[in-house]
């Protein structure tokens, strides 16, 4: 893995945080119209198709590309977060999620399923790879995301 190689979707320039509000609206629309299973299905497509490159790295036994993705985009959105690693696991600790906080700021209500975007996309990226990615919601706009080798 080369640290110099750009991410598959390396983005630069300004960021438009209001998109997190549109995600919130979309989640509620899909759940109300079609149910939670369909929302999961859409996030599965995001995890498997949109993030096919991260998934390919995981398939090849490389979790570092996902860690690079996390670090790059959480830094870009000025999250309060940390990443810890040991022999057993890599842990992303999100103390203040910029997506959740921004949705809370601009939407009348944050969807009860807002964090499913993280939980389900992580699951989909890891499915069928040597890794499992578990997401534990630890509070409002905070979570732990843990990459472990499957046994």
Point out which residues bind other proteins (CB under 8 A): 8-9, 11, 13-23, 25-26, 29-30, 33-34, 38, 41-42, 45-46, 49-53, 73-74, 76-77, 79, 94, 97-100, 106-107, 117-118, 121
Q: Toward other proteins, which CB reaches closer, 37 or 88? A: 37
- Helix (H), strand (E), coil (C) string for the chain: CCCCCCCCCCCCCCCCCCHHHHHHHHHHHHHHHHCHHHHHHHHHHHHHHHCHHHHHHHHCCCCHHHHHHHHHHHHHCCCEEEEEECCCEEEEEEEECHHHHHHHHHCCCCCCCCCHHHHHHHHHHHCCCCEEEEEEEEECCEEEEEEEECC
Q: Toward other proteins, which CB reaches closer, 76 or 148? A: 76
Nearest distance in Å: CB 151, other proteins: 28
Q: Residue 18 is encoded by which pair of tokens?
A: 């209001």
Nearest distance in Å: CB 106, other proteins: 7
Nearest distance in Å: CB 72, other proteins: 9
Q: Toward other proteins, which CB reaches closer, 125 or 151? A: 125
Q: Toward other proteins, which CB reaches closer, 78 or 149? A: 78
């Amino acid at each position: 893995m080369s640290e110099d190689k750009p991410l598959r979707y390396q983005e630069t320039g300004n960021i438009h945080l209001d998109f997190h509000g549109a995600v919130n609206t979309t989640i509620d629309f899909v759940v109300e119209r079609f149910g939670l299973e369909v929302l999961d299905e859409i996030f599965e497509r995001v995890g498997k198709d949109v993030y096919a490159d991260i998934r390919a790295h995981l398939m090849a036994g490389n979790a570092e590309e996902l860690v690079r993705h996390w670090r790059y985009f959480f830094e870009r959105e000025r999250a309060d977060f940390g990443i810890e690693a040991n022999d057993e696991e890599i842990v992303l600790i999100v103390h203040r999620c910029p997506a959740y906080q921004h949705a809370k700021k601009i939407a009348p209500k944050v969807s009860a399923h807002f964090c499913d975007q993280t939980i389900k996309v992580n699951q989909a990226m890891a499915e069928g790879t040597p890794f499992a990615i578990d997401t534990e919601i630890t509070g409002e706009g905070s979570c732990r995301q843990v990459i472990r080798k499957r046994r």
